[in-house]
Structure 1
């Protein structure tokens, strides 16, 4: 039975809303540092890192519920779904409240500036608001409420953009208000068409069972988050918020770059879980590990091309007070090559049940990252040293995951050494070509708008040439094209969701 036109239209609207959210989000993210000083922008970068950690307080119960609810709905077990929905509502609230209370207490007790105190109060309110927002989002996804999610994406993005003038009027306090107002508006949209329990009841045994199934997946995701954000806490504690503001330009760019491998993972993982029941081991590894690793490894240098060549000029023209952050942008961009590959490995890790071991590997990489970064800061390398530590941490994380997969498979993964060599080549070419182009642009003396364009052409020619040579050597790159790089991910996601609703 094919999907109805209504279902297909709903999924298309959902995909378009994600594109709109990301596009307008880029504009808003660029405007914010224009309106704030580096100190206040650094404070904001530190504060906004806290709520994502609080979103893990449910200990994995939400993702487990997201799979169970549609399964129960298919069997007509509405009463069981009511129990699940009530339980995750109360359970996630109880696990979030200590964080909210702690953040509020710090705002009143801790010695800090007024901006930081009000910022922590905002974080406390934001965590509580996010708790309800993410609860509703879980239910909408479980009940296939993509239209409500699409509407919320539009509302939040537009609200964040339209409320930017508050920063002009109220400085960072306007940013605090805009974040709360935009999230609240999106939450109201998500409430529609959902059943609301008058007196939600909590089932401890059910919540513990949900945690037991969801915790391993959550641990690995939490480790990746720690790998991506520990550098901000280090800079704030060892150097200061002004330098964190400079570094925030690098993390802002990295966040948008990582949307591409993240989208690939979202498409790939459901297909992997489905095909593991019918595909043999070699086929699963070829389609869901080796081929995506090849494609991502050779795509990342092209995706990062504007970061190495155009970003410095853009920062000098649009954000001149953040010029000291440019070297960190380049260093962190190089490390993000391996961060993108980490996202690709998650499908096999989850499918094989290796999440806990992978989280341990990631935790070791994060610890080494912190130790190296702190040592480089004490040696006088500043935020550039932290960027180096973070990048080395990504490399160690990826290599550790690869070693784990190879060991757990008893070394029977054929073509492993070949894949590791092949995926390292584009990184070496990327770093070498970027370093040469950046040096030439700085020494050329060409006009500000000419040098980066020429640099982009040279860098692009070298890395596109690498792809063309690699396509002749590796069959895994046979379907790698610029069209696939730019548009296939979202198209495939729509197609997959369309099939899932059949």
Structure 2
């Protein structure tokens, strides 16, 4: 075997971490998907809408660290083998900032629940979420420490424990106590998984906080966090506006779409987390052009050609599942399918985000990405003001995903001073698999309109998609336009043998 064929320690670490982390996150989302589909069936559209709105809270509360956790993760990678005392100061200070900010947020939520005219379910839901975000802040902090040390195996184990418990508790408790049972399951599973995590790693105690360092961490980490916050807002603004304009029941119908998108973006999202961490630790000596090619351009191509397979499976399985098991949610089928198709562009933006983080362009990129949020708000408000059609809402949200990908991609190409023709060429190549996905989906809608048995029409739809898509995928792989990491897998096997 030639020298260049032997995988480096960096490649082995990256591959192993991506496999572990992606597998656990895929397991998490599969259980989440199962939980999500029995949960609406047990709660009904209106209570499920309230649950979905409450569930937005922990996502935003997860930013209460004010960027210190983001900075801490990269500092761990830098200081882990150099200065343990300095490293402890970073982790302790981050924990103090996180706990103080989360406590303030929990008090505000409780105060709002007491003073505002809310339904009993929303009021007690906010009380429960005030406790849950505190537990989750601890869980995420110690999980970030483990990721900083590249201990993705421990993170993966904890993820499996947490979401297995959430599934078991959720099914049991919802049957007993409805919405309150769902909230109890969420909190209890977080608490038990936190205890498991704390048994496996040294516990950072908030005893050595340094306020000048805290300010420095916020200054360093808030730009890293900013882009994530924009991305989160883009994925949740449609839910908030649907609840505001159409009420909890409509949100319960629409929220099925968000669940499926969450599952779909698991693979590019998990890979991004691992590769960003390794980039910060080891790849700074490589040229920016090599990083751009390896982590962004190749990543976009891979997502563009393989994500449609995931989208197609979900789009054609969903009508069967909803019709058979959740007939009260039949109205969710079309919005969910269109939002899944639109989220194709959301997955393409993940490799772009990685290169932005590597070059520390997050603050400027977040300002550019805010344009996509503005696009989403304008389109959604116009749509909801003129119609209560949830499919139109999904299309409006999808257009904001398109805007995000184009804006961030153009931002990076412009920063690298690359010609517009190169940018246009890559974008058009990404649209080839997308166009096949769209054409096959439109054919499937015609089959569905024939009122054939739902299973038959969806199986035929899937077959038509494969007939159209597999030759395209084969050609892209054969020509070397996209590369599947089978060579690395073979190298690892050879090395172990």
Instruction: Give TM-score, length-normalised by structure 2.
Output: 0.89
Which of 97, 111, 114 matches 1:91? Answer: 97
Match of 2:165 in 1: 159
Matched, 1:476 2:484: no
Match of 2:430 in 1: 423
Mapped to 2, the partners of 1:291 and 1:401 lie a distance apart of: 16
Bigger Cα displacement from structure 2, 291-300 vs 229-238: 291-300
Matched, 1:310 2:310: no
Mapped to 1, the partners of 2:210 and 2:201 lie a distance apart of: 21
- Superposition pairs of residues 59-208 of structure 1, within 5 angstroms: 59-75=66-82, 77-146=83-152, 148-163=154-169, 164-196=171-203, 200-208=207-215
Going from structure 1 to structure 2, the CA distance change for 1:450 and 1:207 (only over 3 Å counts) comes to: same
Match of 2:4 in 1: none
Mapped to 2, the partners of 1:144 and 1:289 lie a distance apart of: 22
Match of 2:61 in 1: 54
- Root-mean-square deviation (CA, aligned residues, Å) is 3.0
Number of aligned positions between the proteins: 484
Which of 317, 325, 331 matches 1:324? Answer: 331
Match of 2:5 in 1: none
Residues 366-406 of structure 1, C-alpha deviations (whole Å, 9 max, x = no match): 11111111101111143222212110101111111122122
Matched, 1:395 2:402: yes
Which of 252, 262, 266 matches 2:269? Answer: 262
Mapped to 1, the partners of 2:309 and 2:201 lie a distance apart of: 43
Mapped to 1, the partners of 2:386 and 2:175 lie a distance apart of: 38
Structure 1, unaligned runs of 5 or more: none
Deviation of 1:429 after TM superposition, in Å, equals 2.0
Match of 1:462 in 2: 468
Match of 1:284 in 2: 291
Match of 1:371 in 2: 378
Q: Please tell me whether the aligned partners of residues 78 and 281 of structure 2 are also in contact (alpha carbons under 8 angstroms).
A: no
Deviation of 1:72 after TM superposition, in Å, equals 2.7
Bigger Cα displacement from structure 2, 57-66 vs 283-292: 283-292
Residues 263-314 of structure 1, C-alpha deviations (whole Å, 9 max, x = no match): 3323443455567545444433322222221221111221111222221121
Mapped to 2, the partners of 1:11 and 1:367 lie a distance apart of: 34
Mapped to 2, the partners of 1:145 and 1:267 lie a distance apart of: 11
Mapped to 1, the partners of 2:392 and 2:136 lie a distance apart of: 33
Match of 1:217 in 2: 224
Residues 431-471 of structure 1, C-alpha deviations (whole Å, 9 max, x = no match): 1221122222321x322221111111011211223323445
Q: Please tell me whether the aligned partners of residues 373 and 400 of structure 2 are also in contact (alpha carbons under 8 angstroms).
A: yes
Deviation of 1:107 after TM superposition, in Å, equals 1.1
Deviation of 1:417 after TM superposition, in Å, equals 2.4
Match of 2:458 in 1: 452
Going from structure 1 to structure 2, the CA distance change for 1:209 and 1:43 (only over 3 Å counts) comes to: same
Going from structure 1 to structure 2, the CA distance change for 1:281 and 1:329 (only over 3 Å counts) comes to: same
Going from structure 1 to structure 2, the CA distance change for 1:421 and 1:377 (only over 3 Å counts) comes to: same
Going from structure 1 to structure 2, the CA distance change for 1:488 and 1:166 (only over 3 Å counts) comes to: farther
Q: Please tell me whether the aligned partners of residues 29 and 262 of structure 2 are also in contact (alpha carbons under 8 angstroms).
A: no
SS in 2 for 1:353: coil
Bigger Cα displacement from structure 2, 108-117 vs 275-284: 275-284
Matched, 1:34 2:34: no
Deviation of 1:11 after TM superposition, in Å, equals 9.5
Going from structure 1 to structure 2, the CA distance change for 1:375 and 1:275 (only over 3 Å counts) comes to: same
Going from structure 1 to structure 2, the CA distance change for 1:334 and 1:148 (only over 3 Å counts) comes to: closer
Which of 303, 326, 338 matches 1:296? Answer: 303
Which of 387, 404, 413 matches 1:406? Answer: 413
Going from structure 1 to structure 2, the CA distance change for 1:83 and 1:277 (only over 3 Å counts) comes to: closer
